[in-house]
Amino acid sequence: MLAEIGIVTLGLAFLAAIYAIIASVYGARIRSERIILTGRNASLITFPLLLLSCTALMAALLTHQYQIAYVWQVSDPSTPTFYRFTALWGSQQGSLLFWCLLMSLFTFFATLINWRRNRPLMPYFIAYCMATLAFFVGLVLFVENPFVRYWLTPDLTANSSVLAYLFIPPNAQAPEALGLAQTARGLNPLLRHFGMIIHPPMLYLGFVGFVIPFAFAMSALASGDLSTNWIKAARRWSLIAWLFLSLGLLLGGRWAYDVLGWGGYWGWDPVENAAFIPWLMGTAFLHSVMIQEKRGMLKVWNMFLVIFTFSAVIFGTFATRSGLVESVHSFAQSGIGIPMFLFWGSITIISVALVLWRWNTGRLSDERGFAGMISRESLFVLNNVVFVALALAIFWGSFGAPILSELVMNTDITLGKSYFNGVTAPLFVALYILMGIAPLSAWGATSARRLGKSMLVPIALTLITLVITFVSGTRDGGALFGYGVVIFAGYVAIYETYRGAVARRKNTGEAFPLAMIAIFGKNRRRYGGFIVHLGITVIGIGVIGSTLFQVETQRTLAVGETLELSGYTLRFDGLDMNQIAEDSRVMDIANLTLLRNGAEIARLRPRHDFFPQATGMNQMNIAGSHSTIENDFYVLLASSANDGSTVTLKVYINPLINLVWWGGIILILGTLISVAPSESVRVKERESVGSRMGAAA
């Protein structure tokens, strides 16, 4: 019954999306409000329908319906309830359905919120959102259906009798439930981690969130309303999508650090990169959109940025799920490559053609000229160049060069850390420098002297910090340069916030804390942005420290033996072998004591998990770590003797690595502040909607 509910609601959602496209475009063409409204309602109903479909699959997972092939593939009787929820996105079919649900959720709220405010754009907006949704729902319905069930047909032998069909084949029977339960595969071991509850939904929310700004941009091109309306409508949604994508990337990094067992958080894996590229493009858009809002410039560029951000999202999804690249994320691979490639190619070409068409008609020309080289506009343009160059370099290393060399030279190549670190490091340096200088510049133009003067305090603070860092023992020239560039950007963010509060206090006579609160209330976007910059600074410090000063060693220890590393002593106390967990994993756990200056500071229990029932990747190394602000003492159990008398440990000291996570939290906090509308904006919006309603009445 659950399968039937899922299939029917999925089919209805597909039909509703198709109807919404036709009705919205046709209604807009013939200017029929009634038809447009039916299109809107059809688009709105896709969300409850997909919610029902997802609920049916979730219910099947929770109630052990192993006749449904998806449930059989991603769970087994020993799977805890906790992981049954996460199993919804544990494989291709379920994650695609979940993706569709999130996309319909975004469209639902974006439509309701913007229906009155951006009325002329909405029919086309709905059409673009529904076209994307219909494609993905179609994939789930026709190619990767999670409601396919196993059936026994009477004419086949017992050995080959189970067939997977969506509907009941003639004379077929349901297989015995017990037999299916005994052979069920269980969830991919890599996904059995707390981080996997949050990481994929956040990443999907980030991905599908970028559909909204894309649909607004396309609706502006299609409707001919090329004012800043689409920018205003799209900006906040872009920020929301960016927030989720940032969260997804951070959680993915944390998951890799905890589960993948290589002592790091970012491996330049193609799938990580596939999520990072839209983040870079989206960040470029969030900056350049300000130029269009404030100066009426870069209209074409913004269109291209929004298109390529969305295009990167679809390409990333295609690359991850089609088997184009291999990675640790390849659990989600299947045969959807060709339809996804066609969708990606066609939507990119159509969108670019639409921009070029409007550009040729002169409707996208800049409203004002360029005032000077030293201006916030020019620095933002440079910032965009660096972001796009980074995105291109990462795309090239992950997909471009490997695919091209295989196609043209018939040679399979991998570009690894050395490539990515070498190519991206100078671009990141440029980015941090721009991040420091741009907030100090003014819109329009500023003089070099004035800009230099405003940089004096942050530069002085940076130099003082560098001297302290040098005196405290950091002598590596590259590291000091890196810290200097990154810290400068952070000091500028703090200094500008401070100057804003001081200026406010002088104007109003308020106390400094009140002035600080007031400036955040008045322009959350600006000051939230500074907090985001501060978060990026803290992340940068963490990345430099953990990359340049990581120490590692591997030793084999017998019980009672110790190893020494960078002032720490690690003692092996014994091995707990063959411990069986709730989900049937078999664990070997090393008991270790960490000492510093002879005093015990922590007990660590790194473990090796083995999943007897899992196919493919069936083991994991879960690290034991002792975290401080200074560093992470991170231990992996590489191997152990059969009798448990000795263990081989891989030990890492990752300096400042926790700043990466703390910086991430600051970044999220800043983005949340930026997303919230400022007091003045809220008042204006209320007035604007009120006046429009009054005029309509």
414 interacts with other proteins by CB under 8 A: yes
Q: Which residues from 90-109 bind other proteins, rule CB under 8 A?
A: none
404 interacts with other proteins by CB under 8 A: yes
Chosen residue from 415, 434, 487, 647 binding other proteins by CB under 8 A: 415
Min dist CB 286 to other proteins, Å, is 15
Binding mask 638-667 for other proteins (x = CB under 8 A): -x--------x-x-----------------
Q: Residue 405's beta-bridge partner residues?
A: none
d(CA 439, CA 494): 11
Closest to other proteins by CB, 341 or 443: 443
Q: Which residues from 520-539 bind other proteins, rule CB under 8 A?
A: 522-523, 525-526
d(CA 195, CA 661): 13
564 interacts with other proteins by CB under 8 A: no
Closest to other proteins by CB, 162 or 379: 379
676 interacts with other proteins by CB under 8 A: no
378 interacts with other proteins by CB under 8 A: yes
Closest to other proteins by CB, 51 or 429: 429
523 Rama class: left (phi>0) / alpha (psi -120 to 50) / beta: beta
Residue indicated by tokens 């690290």: 623
Binding mask 223-242 for other proteins (x = CB under 8 A): -----x--------------
507 interacts with other proteins by CB under 8 A: yes
Residue among 495, 92, 52 nearest 60 (CA): 52
Closest to other proteins by CB, 72 or 279: 279
193 interacts with other proteins by CB under 8 A: no
Q: Which residues from 239-258 bind other proteins, rule CB under 8 A?
A: none
Residue among 500, 487, 502 nearest 534 (CA): 487
425 interacts with other proteins by CB under 8 A: no
565 interacts with other proteins by CB under 8 A: no
In angstroms, what is the C-alpha Rg of the chain? 28
Binding mask 126-165 for other proteins (x = CB under 8 A): ----------------------------------------
558 interacts with other proteins by CB under 8 A: no
Select the span of 68-76, 210-218, 244-252, 405-413 touching other proteins (CB under 8 A): 405-413
Do the beta carbons of residue 125 and residue 219 sit within 8 Å? yes
389 interacts with other proteins by CB under 8 A: yes
412 interacts with other proteins by CB under 8 A: yes
33 interacts with other proteins by CB under 8 A: no
Do the beta carbons of residue 50 and residue 8 sit within 8 Å? no
Q: Kindly state the DSSP code that residue 656 receives in the 8-state scheme.
A: T
686 interacts with other proteins by CB under 8 A: no
Select the span of 25-33, 274-282, 294-302, 340-348 touching other proteins (CB under 8 A): 294-302
Per DSSP, the three-state class of 194 is coil
d(CA 125, CA 217): 8
* Angle at CA of residue 489, ends 485 and 491, nearest 5°: 115
Closest to other proteins by CB, 41 or 556: 556
- Give Cβ neighbours of residue 108 (< 8 Å, ≥ 6 apart): 43, 44, 46, 47
689 interacts with other proteins by CB under 8 A: no
- Give Cβ neighbours of residue 517 (< 8 Å, ≥ 6 apart): none
Q: Which residues from 593-632 bind other proteins, rule CB under 8 A?
A: 619-621
The torsion angles phi and psi of 478, rounded to 5 degrees, stand at: -65, -40
SS3 assignment for 117-186: CCHHHHHHHHHHHHHHHHHHHHHHHHHCCCCCEEEECCCCCHHHCEEEECCCCCCCECCCHHHHHHHCCC
514 interacts with other proteins by CB under 8 A: no
